Structure formats: structure tokens, C-alpha cells
Amino acid sequence: MSYEPTPRAALPQRQLSFAAIVGGLLAIIIVVGGIALRLEDEHQLKDWTETQAIPSVNVVVPAKEAPGGLLALPGRLEAFDSAPIYARVSGYLKSWRVDIGSQVKAGEELAVIDTPELDQQLNQAKADLSSAKADAALAKTTADRWQGLLDSDSVSRQEVDDRTQNYVAKQARVAAAQANVDRLVATKSFARIVAPFNGVITARDTDVGALINAGGGAGPQLFSVSSVDKLRLYVHVPQEDAPVMKSGGTATFTVPEYPGKSFMATVVGLADSVNAASGTTLVQLLVDNPGHLLLPGGFVNLHFVLPARAGALRVPASALIFDNKGLRLATVDGRDTIRFKSVAILQDLGNEVDIGSGLADSDRVIDTPPDGLVEGDHVQVISPGTKVAKHG
């Protein structure tokens, strides 16, 4: 039995064939892996693209029993009492004792008017009164004498009656003359101008030597007196808010001259009517003014705290949609799809609104809804239920 060795050339050829097979398998694995990886990337890209195509929205939960908010309105301060002082007699201003800013008491003298013509009229009236009294005294003596003659049948009854009637007429002339004197004395008292009530002088429009003409407001005023321990505050309230204004209610206000400082006012009167031109009703408030910090005629920024509206649901004003279908809100149902609801505003508070109808307290309302939303669209809710409409 003989043994024949394998030729050396056959061994390398067999090794090369094995290496080629292994290389081919590796190439196939690499190709298949690349294809699979690409397919997976394409699938992830598709999922990401589809996800990004769904709008992302923030939702808010309507607030129930939210405070009514603040009603800010401009107002005007007025003196509690204010009176322009006019002359009741003519003459020349003799002197004045007070100037603007002076505190005065009721009955305190403000000025004195020199009245030479009135003085002469008063002197004449007093002389007429003395003459009338003398005539009346003579008529009485005459009547008494003729009455005595009648008793002795020296004169007739008719003559006695004539003398008696003359005495009565003279007495009437005395009464008229006395009334004229009293009138002129009363008029003369107006030469002394006095304050009608406690207050402060807010204007002086005369000076010593000025010609004064008597008048009931037709001529220029001499002084102006205002009572400023308390002030009246007038504000025009919109008709829709008029029902919440009640006598005894309070409000706060600020004035430009005291930034950061707040004052209190109390409602004391309502006009109970609506101005047809402005659609507002006039409300009067009373303000205590210790130290006279507040000035009559000043502008104020008044704030009323409004009560909560029964049944109202509060949402941000940015959630409102107003288009050709009216006023609506976009809500998200349990399947994260869009549902539009037509609503009615009960109260506009600026950044927020109170909805009176069309909305349920369980609705999720989209805040600042993006353009292009349509009924039934699917949306992605960002942190659902965590953003709630603010109170106040």
C-alpha cells in the first residue's frame, strides 16, 4: 500500500475559497444591517414628522366663583360746600381781611364795603320816619280834641270821624317809614361781608378801592369759600355696572400728586338714571380729608371691587376667538380633539373675561389657540390640567 502526498498548490486554493465565503457573508450582513438601520431611521423620521404635524396647545380650566375684579374709572373731587361770595350793596371796597388759603369760620368778616350813597338813603329814611311820627302825634292830638268836642255837641260826628281817620293814615305812614328804615339797615349790614360757613378761601377777586356793584351773581364774585374737611367725589359708572353700586359701599382711589398712596371713599348717593349721551349713571361718594391733602377739582383714579357674577366662568381673554361664526372658544375633549363652543361674555375684565353661557366648568379651554384649527382636529395637550385661569 502506497501513500501519495497532497500537492502543495491545492491547500492555498482551499483557504482562499473559505475566505471568500466568509467575506461574502460579512458583506451580506453589513448590507442587510445598513438597510435595516435605514428603514428604522425612516420609520422614526416618519413618526417624528407625524408627531410634529399635530398642533401642541395649552389648556386652561375655567375658574368658578372668581372675584369680580376691579372697575377702574376716572372721577372728580369737589368741595363738600362751595359758595361764591357776591356783593349785596354797591360802593367801594374799603378793606379786606382774608386772602386765598385763609381758614375762616362761619360769620367771620371777609371784607367791608364803603357805601356813601346807601348811607345817605338811610339818613333820609330816618328823617322821613321822624316826620311821619311827628305828623302821627299831631293827628292823634287833633283826633282826641275833636272827640272831646263831640261830647259837648260842638262838632258833628262826621268831622270827628275825619280826624280819627287822618290819625290812622298817619300811623300807616309811620309804619311804612319804619319798614323802609329797617330795609336800609338790613341792606347796610351787607356792607360787611362774612363767611357763610367754616372753610377755606379759594379765590379773592377784588381789592381795596374797587368799584362794587350789587348783584345776585351777574357781576364778578368777590371771594370764593369752600368747605374741604370732607369732599364729594363724582364718578360716571357704566350702565352695566350700575346695579352693583349700593349706598354705603366703598371704593379706593389714587391721585397724581401722591403716587403710591391710596384713599378711601364711601358711596352716599346715586342718580338712579342713565345719561343717554354717555350711557353712564352718576354716583356720588364722600371722602374724609384730614389735613386737607386732597384738593377740590382734582382728578382721581377710582377703583371699585366688583362682586362675583353668579354662574360666571372666568377664562383668559386671549382664549377668545371672534370670526364670521361669532364669539367662540376652542375646547379639547377627552380624546384630545377640537370642539368649538359659542359663548356670551358676562363681564370684560381686561386680561380676563367672565363667560355667562355656552361653557361648562369641566371644559378644557385652549389658551391662545393657533390659527387654522378646525372642528375635530387632533391636538397634543401640553401639561393638561396644570394651567388654570387666575382669580382676579
Instruction: In whole angstroms, give the CA distance from residue 222 to residue 230.
Output: 24
- CATH number for the domain spanning 148: value is 1.10.287.470
80 close to 232: Cβ distance less than 8 angstroms: yes
**pLDDT score at 223:** 93
DSSP 55: P
Sign of CA pseudo-dihedral 243, 248, 250, 253 = positive
Same domain for 348 and 295? no
User: How far is Cα 366 from Cα 388, in angstroms, rounded to an integer?
Assistant: 11
In a domain, 280, yes or no: yes
Strands 211-212 and 364-367: unpaired
Same-domain check for residues 183 and 89: yes
Contact 301, 288 (CB under 8 A): no
Q: Is the domain of 112 the same as that of 157? A: yes
- The low-confidence residues of the chain, meaning pLDDT below 50, are 1-3, 6, 385-392
Which CATH number belongs to the domain containing residue 256 in this structure? 2.40.30.170
The answer to whether residue 386 sits within a structural domain is no
211 contacts 98 by C-beta, under 8 angstroms: no
Let me know whether 301 and 362 are in one domain: no
> Are the beta carbons of 283 and 235 closer than 8 angstroms?
yes
Of 178, 194, 210, which residue sits at a domain end? Answer: 194
The last residue of one of the domains, among 305, 333, 368, is 305
Q: How far apart are CA 45 and CA 39, in angstroms?
A: 10
Secondary structure element (H or E) that encloses residue 353, with its range: strand 352-357
Residue 330 forms part of a structural domain: yes
Pick the closest to residue 71 from 232, 283, 356, 270 (CA basis). Answer: 283
Strands of 63-64's sheet in order across: 63-64, 313-316, 352-357, 344-348
**Could you give the number of structural domains in the chain?**
3
User: Which CATH number belongs to the domain containing residue 330 in this structure?
Assistant: 2.40.420.20
Is residue 295 located within the same domain as residue 318? no
Residue 149 placed within a domain: yes
Task: Based on the fold, state whether residues 241 and 280 are members of the same structural domain.
Answer: yes
d(CA 62, CA 365): 7
**Domain assignment present for 27:** no
* Statement to judge: residues 113 and 171 lie in one domain: yes
Q: Do 184 and 233 belong to one domain?
A: no
Q: What is the dihedral angle through the alpha carbons of 306, 311, 313, 317, rounded to the nearest 10 degrees?
A: -50
Of 275, 305, 335, which residue sits at a domain end? 305
Residue 138: domain span: 81-194
Do 239 and 285 lie in one domain? The reply is yes
Is residue 21 domain-resident? no
269: in domain? yes
- Tell me if 278 is assigned to some domain: yes
Asked whether residue 335 falls in the same domain as residue 377, the answer is yes
Q: In terms of domains, do 290 and 324 share one?
A: no
How much is the pTM?
Answer: 0.61
What local confidence, expressed as pLDDT, does residue 77 receive? 96
Regarding whether 251 and 301 lie in a shared domain, the answer is yes
